[in-house]
Amino acid sequence: MAPILEIRNLDVRFSTPDGEVHAVKNLDLAVGEGECLGVVGESGSGKSQLFLGAMGLLASNGRATGSVKYRGDEILNISQNRLNKIRGSTITMIFQDPLTSLTPHMTVGAQIMEALRAHQNVSSGEAEKRTLEILDLVRISEARQRMDQYPHELSGGTRQRVMIAMATVCGPDLLIADEPTTAVDVTVQAQILDIMRDLQKELKTAIVMISHDMGVIAGMADRVQVMREGEIVEAGPVDEIFYRPKHTYTKTLLDAMPRLDRPMREGHVGLSPLSTISADQQLLNVEDLKVYFPIRSGGFLFRKTKPLRAVDGVSFRLRQGETLGIVGESGCGKSTLARAILKLAPKSDGKVVWCGRDVTFSNDAEVRALRKEFQIVFQDPLASLDPRMTIGESIAEPLRSLKPELSADAATQEVRAMMQHVGLEPASINRYPHEFSGGQNQRVGIARAMIVKPKLVICDEAVSALDVSIQSQIVDLILKLQAEFNMSLIFISHDLSIVRQVSHRVMVLYLGRIVELADRHAIYEDPRHPYTRALISAVLTPDPKAERSKSHDRLVSELASPLDTRAQLAFLKSHMIDDADAEQYRPQLQEVAPGHFVAEFDPE
Amino acid sequence: MIATGASIQNAEVMMRAQVVQGRSLWVDARNRLLRNRAAVASMVLLGIIALMALFVPLFWPYAYNAVDYDHISCAPDWWPEESVMCRAGGLHIFGTDDLGRDLFVRILYGARISLAVGLAATLVSLFIGVTYGAISGYIGGRLDEFMMRFVDILYSLPFIFFVIILMVVFQQNFFLLFVAIGAVEWLTMARIVRGQTLSLKQKEFIEAARAAGVGTFGIIRKHIVPNVVGPVIVYVTLTIPTVILSESFLSFLGLGIREPLTSWGVLIKDGADQMESASWTLVFPAAIMAITLFCFNFIGDGLRDALDPKDR
């Protein structure tokens, strides 16, 4: 059977001010009728540029050479007009960020119809009918109303579904999906992958799935190509690649991927057991913490303010040397909670007790003294470093402001020692963040947080922005440092697999409230709350057979607006008052087993 | 403990080893700027003009205020027009003006004044504007509201009225020109810096600095100001020509520099008065000023391209 898309000797080069970058090196690839090809690789492997190059969508400084054949016809470097006939009708693409890929000033319906009418000669009535059908197919509820909405009115998951609808409305032969689920939550990711799988079955569309996530590939692909530095290092059927990988790089990738079903990290630094001596030492005691942001709404004169309940009554304790994992989807208040504890965000109510001392109402000077004891590692390593400062200056900054008694030489000395400790060459002390990779910059971020020897470090999605292989190195580093300094950690992540590996206890947040809090094993082996269960079932494992046999009991509802007071009661509808502004009942935590707390929910 | 004995020793070994010098964003920007031909040519040209303005009058045979009644409004020897009243001869390469003064040296004196006013007023506006904008933007809230409304009020004062009143009250004081122009130019600077600060404030590294215990003014000084320098420097190079133009405009109205001192504005005004009989008195000052303004604008463009973070 002839392949739909055949790529031969494709070479993509970019000329940059710093010299030529050879992104894709002499690469061959073919996609057959109706199959799903997974292309997996870490950032910078050239997996996106490969297809952008093939479709003539390279940035202006890029150049593609070689041959790309669509059903036998050469399409590489042909005129834009001819390309446009193919792009968007028979070969379509979906990108990572659905918000930037949609035009903000056009309604969703108009955009889909535009895609349809640009390629097919249909009447406006017919176009509307087809659009409705396709929106139904990607399971967008109330499709008629959605058509008249603008992209910013939709949630991230719905937007991505609109993108899929737009890409499939013309009935393409080939759909190229470039990291389609990277920007969305796990539960939404599961839904989107389901939709794509169904589309592939119903419409017989071939799919190219580009992803860095082995889990996504395992569930979708028939064949897999592993890319690294612009070359294909291994290719084969999905089961071959996952169960009998030959190339060491493929093995590294599979090995580095955190797995929910394997909480112990073989061959890596393990979680240090809680020492019994420190077991009674309460380091942090948070009681009924609330963070509300006033949101203005309504007209010009009679404006109302409504509280946005980012964190709504969270209580927990943390012991010396313990790691508490906080998981939840975006918008559940996990970052706000961390910032409120660190006093980087104003809190509205509640109590924070630090080492037996109530620090709820500390003034600025006291807060600065506290900063020596708790520190934070941020998500985006590059954004959290001042681009105009050398990394040495950045690491030294907490020392300078929190320990001013230290001489400049002593501070430099400590910075160098710390750099070595986190695996950075001390000789690169005068380098700048943009000269480093993401992993190295995250090491700088960690060094900076650890240099004042804090008792508590909050890792706010500290490894989420990194490639899997780097991710596992950074997790190793964090665990190593924790064991050495006997620190407590609050590890915030949307990735349940990592949280399970590094945390002693895990807290699941939903719209600013705890729904479940338990020991790391209990929460995965014996999840009680339906939300926790949905989260766990949505996690992908790099195991094709397990993924294929997975039952798809997905959370159907979208994450509701935190402005709506009813939203918190999504799992306890029996207590709900049907009014978006009413003061509602809050589900209370109940201890179902020693140390295992679950919020009330309606039995199904 | 972090610093175990071994690691301290290691660190000392490393201390002696060669430290890698980082490549800062400034170095990158400079390299990009130096690759921009128009900007480099402009910088060279501007440098030549500035150096000439500084040094040539020191040894030039004619003084800027030496009146010569034998050569009133004489064209330079090479002037192509046939019907001129007289030829200046000697080293009067740009001819003479209506009092027989050497035009070349007067243009250089004018360059001194115009460039000095441009630089000084820009520095005044830079200093006030950056401080004001960064504080207003970073602290925010009521203070921001108040500070920005104050800027709005100043904006709505008519500039020319403001300067005329100043000039009338304090007589024509040379120093006041700097103050008057600087006092108006800082408003836009403050707005630009405030806008930049507002977006910087959202960045994670500012939050990281707060978590590191850096105080408010430490953050403004160490993190905000160095990061707004990029856009500000571009604006500065575009402000200098504006200021030079304002000064020329005021001088043109007779409110600026007084005889026998001169500036480009004064020279152009005098030249315009007699452009029918002695066109060179208009052409030369106007050409030099236009070239200078061109240079500043090219440099500003070059800097903007060089500092554009999207390039990275």
Report whether pLDDT(A406) > 60.
Answer: yes
Q: Give the least confident one: A184-198, A345-359, A533-547, A559-573.
A: A559-573
Model confidence over A211-262: pLDDT tens digits?
888 888 888 889 999 998 888 999 999 888 889 999 998 888 888 887 777 7
Q: The domain containing residue B103 runs over which residues?
A: 25-311
Asked whether residue B58 is domain-assigned, the answer is yes
Rounded Cα gap, residues A504 and A500, in angstroms: 8
**Chain length of chain B:** 312
pLDDT computed for residue A586 by the predictor: 80
Q: Which two tokens stand for residue B273?
A: 């008065």
Q: What is the mean pLDDT of residues B105-131?
A: 87
Rounded Cα gap, residues A339 and A323, in angstroms: 17
pLDDT computed for residue B233 by the predictor: 83
Q: How confident is the model at residue A198 (pLDDT cuts 50, 70, 90)?
A: confident
Rounded Cα gap, residues A351 and A285, in angstroms: 8
Does residue A207 contact residue A180 with C-beta atoms inside 8 Å? no
How many other CB atoms are there within 10 angstroms of residue A354's CB atom?
21
- Delineate the domains of chain A, giving CATH numbers in brackets: 34-44+85-256 (3.40.50.300), 283-373+458-468+489-528+564-604 (3.40.50.300)
Asked whether residue B8 is domain-assigned, the answer is no
pLDDT computed for residue B311 by the predictor: 45
Q: Using alpha carbons, select from A152, A167, A25, A21 the residue that is nearest to residue A91.
A: A167
Asked whether residue B10 is domain-assigned, the answer is no
Strand order in the sheet with A304-319: A304-319, A282-297, A349-354, A357-358
**How distant is the alpha carbon of residue A584 from its chain centre?**
31
Judged by CB atoms closer than 8 Å, whether chains meet at B19 and A432 is answered as no
Asked whether residue B6 is domain-assigned, the answer is no
Model confidence over B86-96: pLDDT tens digits?
777 777 778 88
Judged by CB atoms closer than 8 Å, whether chains meet at A434 and B312 is answered as yes
Q: Which two tokens stand for residue A523?
A: 């929460």
pLDDT computed for residue B51 by the predictor: 92
Asked whether residue B133 is domain-assigned, the answer is yes
Does residue A475 contact residue A498 with C-beta atoms inside 8 Å? yes
Model confidence over B61-100: pLDDT tens digits?
887 777 777 777 777 777 777 777 777 777 777 888 878 7
Does residue A523 contact residue A516 with C-beta atoms inside 8 Å? yes
Asked whether residue B307 is domain-assigned, the answer is yes
Asked whether residue B175 is domain-assigned, the answer is yes
Residue from A412, A416, A450, A456 whose CB has the most chain B CBs within 10 Å, to mutate? A416
Q: How confident is the model at residue A553 (pLDDT cuts 50, 70, 90)?
A: low
Q: How many helices (H) and strands (E) does chain B have?
A: 12, 0
Question: Which residues, other chains included, contact A399 with Cβ-Cβ below 8 Å and sequence gap of 6+?
Answer: A406, A411, A414, A415, A451, A452
Residue keyed to tokens 């291994």: A234
Q: What is the mean pLDDT of residues A269-275?
A: 68
Asked whether residue B144 is domain-assigned, the answer is yes
Comparison of pLDDT for B135 and A602, the residue scoring more = B135
Report whether pLDDT(B4) > 50.
Answer: no
Does residue A55 contact residue A212 with C-beta atoms inside 8 Å? no
Q: Using alpha carbons, select from A260, A230, A286 the residue that is nearest to residue A26.
A: A230
Residue from B205, B229, B307 whose CB has the most chain A CBs within 10 Å, to mutate? B205
Return the ∠ at Cα B8 (arms to B2 and B9), rounded to 5°: 150
Rounded Cα gap, residues B172 and A158, in angstroms: 68
Rounded Cα gap, residues A506 and A327, in angstroms: 7
Q: What is the mean pLDDT of residues B124-144?
A: 89
Report whether pLDDT(A46) > 80.
Answer: yes
Nearest by CB to B204, which of A384, A398, A450?
Answer: A384
Report whether pLDDT(B15) > 50.
Answer: no
Task: Report the chain A residue with the minimal C-alpha distance to residue B226.
Answer: A388
Share the mean pLDDT of chain A: 84
Return the ∠ at Cα A418 (arms to A416 and A419), rounded to 5°: 65
Whether omega before B260 lies within 30 degrees of 0, making that bond cis, reads yes
Does residue B74 contact residue B97 with C-beta atoms inside 8 Å? no
Q: Mark which residues 450-479 of A lie under 8 Å from B by CB.
A: 450, 453
Q: What is the CATH number of the domain that holds B187?
A: 1.10.3720.10
* Inter-chain CB pairs, A–B, below 8 Å: 121
Does residue B296 contact residue B114 with C-beta atoms inside 8 Å? no
Rounded Cα gap, residues A284 and A602, in angstroms: 32
Residue keyed to tokens 């010098």: B21
Q: Mark which residues 408-437 of A lie under 8 Å from B by CB.
A: 413-414, 416-418, 420-421, 425-432, 434-435
Q: How many domains does chain B have?
A: 1
Residue from A18, A401, A409, A457 whose CB has the most chain B CBs within 10 Å, to mutate? A401
Question: What one-letter code names the amino acid at A479?
Answer: L
Q: Is the dihedral of CA B232, B237, B240, B246 positive or negative?
A: negative
E-state strands within A340-385: 349-354, 357-358, 374-377
Q: How confident is the model at residue A507 (pLDDT cuts 50, 70, 90)?
A: very high
